[in-house]
Amino acid sequence: MRGVMMYGPGDVRTEEREDPKILEPTDAILRVTATCVCGSDLWPYRGAEPLHATPEAMGHEYVGVVDEIGAEVGNVSVGDFVVGSFVASDNTCEICQAGYQSRCIHQVMMGTIGTQAELARIPLADGTLVKTPGEPSADLIPSLLAASDVLGTGWYGAVAAEAGPGRTIAVVGDGAVGLSAVLAANRLGAERIIVFSRHPARQALAREFGATDILEERGEEGAARVVELTGGYGAHGVVEAVGTQESMWQAIRATRPGGFVGYVGVSHGVELEGLDLFFASVHLHGGPAPVRRFLPELVQLIWDRTIDPGKVFDLTLPLDEAAEGYRAMDERRATKVLLTP
């Protein structure tokens, strides 16, 4: 099969890989209909994070059709169209049952498998995969794929930020996750949604997804603007969808005491000084999003065409042109790149 491998910073190749096989009776093999490049894939691409192997199989987002199942798989059948999260989970342990499937005690990170490929092995298929109500029409594929990571992650950020009626929610980050968080905050009923963005196309999509205010300031200055816009108090909740020291403190400083910071940007070089955090008095919650918690609801909202999160994809390429997809995202020519095997 064809699959995407990263050999080093800036060096992405689509090449022949061995077909995956059922290794455990709880595995399924998926024929990938669509996959994509994640903002987190850019960290090793930019040399800001080491590869886990050389070369490393890339990708952790996926939708597709079940091609084969292990002997113990009972919730999905060959031929089912399914969506899964970037973390395989049993969905039965106490952590999963509490809604934290991304930290399942049997978790398998899909990034270690690489779903930017024609086929992918899905561990713990019963717990991981969610069937769509039927065979989706082609125009629903991008939105279902978004649910696999960015939508689910933005949704989690908005839930962690306690977005809801009467609330003012700010979103730090105008990438696919940040934009998805705007959509989520809107859907969850937030009254006012403030987004930080300097990028015209992303500002436009943010407004389409429900943003009420766009700010171009950053860092302490950006946070101060949110405080100013909220009567001196700060936002009720802020979603952090970048992962840098500046963006984390921007999120914390934009939040009122007692408010909620939902942080979903994978941290890079972040150090939180304890006393500053102590006196910020916010709720801080985040980490790898338990997308599986939200998948059934998100799939239904997409199926019913209530939400259209697939709009975050602004470039679609064949899998063989993955390298161009990485380049486009690296250069911010594309927000999110969909790849079709």
Q: Does 99 bind its own copies (CB under 8 A)?
A: yes
Q: Does 47 bind its own copies (CB under 8 A)?
A: no
Q: Does 105 bind its own copies (CB under 8 A)?
A: yes
Q: Does 60 bind its own copies (CB under 8 A)?
A: no
Q: How many residues can be counted in the chain?
A: 341
When the beta carbons of 259 and 341 are compared against its own copies, the nearer one is 259
CA atoms within 13 A on the CB side of 13: 9
Distance CA 244, CA 333 (A): 21
List of residues 6+ apart from 274 with CB closer than 8 A:
none
When the beta carbons of 102 and 143 are compared against its own copies, the nearer one is 102
Query: Which stretch, 27-35, 59-67, 240-248, 294-302, contacts its own copies (CB under 8 A)?
Result: 240-248
Among positions 270-309, residues that touch its own copies (CB under 8 A) are 270-275, 277-288, 290
Among 29, 238, 248, 251, binds its own copies (CB under 8 A): 248
Q: Does 243 bind its own copies (CB under 8 A)?
A: yes
When the beta carbons of 64 and 262 are compared against its own copies, the nearer one is 262
Distance CA 109, CA 114 (A): 9
Distance CA 9, CA 48 (A): 9
Query: Which stretch, 3-11, 134-142, 199-207, 230-238, contacts its own copies (CB under 8 A)?
Result: 230-238
Query: Which stretch, 2-10, 140-148, 179-187, 253-261, contacts its own copies (CB under 8 A)?
Result: 253-261
Q: Does 227 bind its own copies (CB under 8 A)?
A: no
Among 256, 292, 311, 336, binds its own copies (CB under 8 A): 256
Cis peptide before 200 (omega within 30 of 0): no
- CA 81 → CA 52, 64, 114, 143, 178, distances in Å? 30, 6, 19, 14, 27
**DSSP, residue by residue, 134-195:** SPPPGGGHHHHHHHTTHHHHHHHHHHHTT--BT-EEEEE--SHHHHHHHHHHHHTTBSEEEE
How near is the Cβ of 242 to its own copies at its closest, in Å?
Answer: 11
When the beta carbons of 78 and 272 are compared against its own copies, the nearer one is 272
Nearest to 253 by CA among 287, 213, 299, 217: 217
Angle at 274 between CA 268 and CA 280, to 5 degrees: 95
How near is the Cβ of 244 to its own copies at its closest, in Å?
Answer: 9
How near is the Cβ of 303 to its own copies at its closest, in Å?
Answer: 28
Q: Does 109 bind its own copies (CB under 8 A)?
A: no
Residue 65: in which H helix or E strand, if any?
A: strand 63-69
When the beta carbons of 16 and 273 are compared against its own copies, the nearer one is 273
Query: Which stretch, 6-14, 127-135, 210-218, 227-235, contacts its own copies (CB under 8 A)?
Result: 227-235
User: Which tokens sit at 32?
Assistant: 């990938």
Among 17, 103, 131, 327, binds its own copies (CB under 8 A): 103
Identify the three-state secondary structure at position 318: strand
Find where tokens 């798989």 sit. Answer: 73
Residue 167 contacts residue 140 (beta carbons within 8 Å) = no
When the beta carbons of 2 and 103 are compared against its own copies, the nearer one is 103
Distance CA 341, CA 339 (A): 6
How near is the Cβ of 285 to its own copies at its closest, in Å?
Answer: 4
Query: Which stretch, 133-141, 184-192, 256-264, 319-327, contacts its own copies (CB under 8 A)?
Result: 256-264
CA dihedral sign, ordered 172, 177, 183, 189: negative
When the beta carbons of 189 and 258 are compared against its own copies, the nearer one is 258
Catalog residues that contact its own copies under the rule CB under 8 A: 93-95, 98-100, 102-103, 105, 231-233, 243, 245, 248, 256-258, 263, 266-275, 277-288, 290
